[in-house]
Amino acid sequence: MKPDKKIYFASDFHLGVPDYATSLQREKRIVAWLESIRHDAEEIFLVGDVFDMWFEYKRAVPRGFVRLLGKLAALSDSGIPVYFFTGNHDMWCFDYLPREVGVILQKAPIIKTYNGKKFFIGHGDGLGPGDLKYKFIKKVFANKVCQWMFARFHPNFGLGIANYWSRKSRASASTEANRFLGEDKEFLVQFCQAMLQEEQVDYFIFGHRHLALDHPLKHPSRYINLGDWIRFNTYGVFDGEKMELKISKGNPATDPLCFPDGMTDDQPSGTNP
Alpha-carbon gap, residue 148 to 87, rounded angstroms: 20
Q: Which of 207, 10, 245, 217 is nearest to 125 (CA)?
A: 207
Mean pLDDT of 209-237: 94
131 pLDDT higher than 80 = no
- Cβ-contact 187, 127 below 8 angstroms: yes
- Rounded mean pLDDT of the chain? 85
Per-residue pLDDT band for 269 (boundaries 50, 70, 90) equals very low
Q: Which DSSP state fits 119?
A: E
134 pLDDT higher than 70 = no
Q: How many Cα atoms within 13 Å fall on the side-chain side of residue 263?
A: 26
Alpha-carbon gap, residue 111 to 174, rounded angstroms: 31
Mean pLDDT of 217-243: 95
177 pLDDT higher than 70 = no
What pTM was computed for the model?
A: 0.86
Could you give the 3-state DSSP secondary structure of residue 219?
Answer: coil
Alpha-carbon gap, residue 264 to 251, rounded angstroms: 9
pLDDT in tens, 5-19: 999 999 999 999 888
Per-residue pLDDT band for 184 (boundaries 50, 70, 90) equals confident
pLDDT at 38: 96
Under CATH, to which class is 6-247 assigned?
Answer: alpha beta
Could you give phi then psi for residue 179, rounded to 5 degrees? -130, 150
224 contact partners, CB below 8 Å, separation of at least 6 = 203, 204, 205, 206, 213, 214, 215, 236, 243, 245
Could you give the 3-state DSSP secondary structure of residue 178?
Answer: helix
pLDDT at 182: 84
pLDDT at 263: 34
Helix 66-77 and helix 20-37: axis angle, to 10°?
20
Q: Is 158 or 222 the better-scoring residue by pLDDT?
A: 222
* Residue 228, Ramachandran bin (φ over 0: left; ψ between -120 and 50: alpha; else beta): beta
Per-residue pLDDT band for 272 (boundaries 50, 70, 90) equals very low
Alpha-carbon gap, residue 215 to 109, rounded angstroms: 19
pLDDT at 164: 67
Number of residues that this document lists for the chain: 273
Instruction: State the first-to-last Cα distance of the chain, in angstroms, to the nearest integer.
Output: 32
pLDDT in tens, 153-165: 777 777 777 676 6
pLDDT at 253: 46
pLDDT in tens, 41-83: 999 999 999 999 888 888 889 899 999 999 999 999 999 999 9
What percentage of the chain carries pLDDT values higher than 70?
85
pLDDT at 251: 52
Mean pLDDT of 220-236: 95
Number of H helices, E strands in the chain: 7, 11
Q: Map out the domains of the chain as residue ranges.
A: 6-247
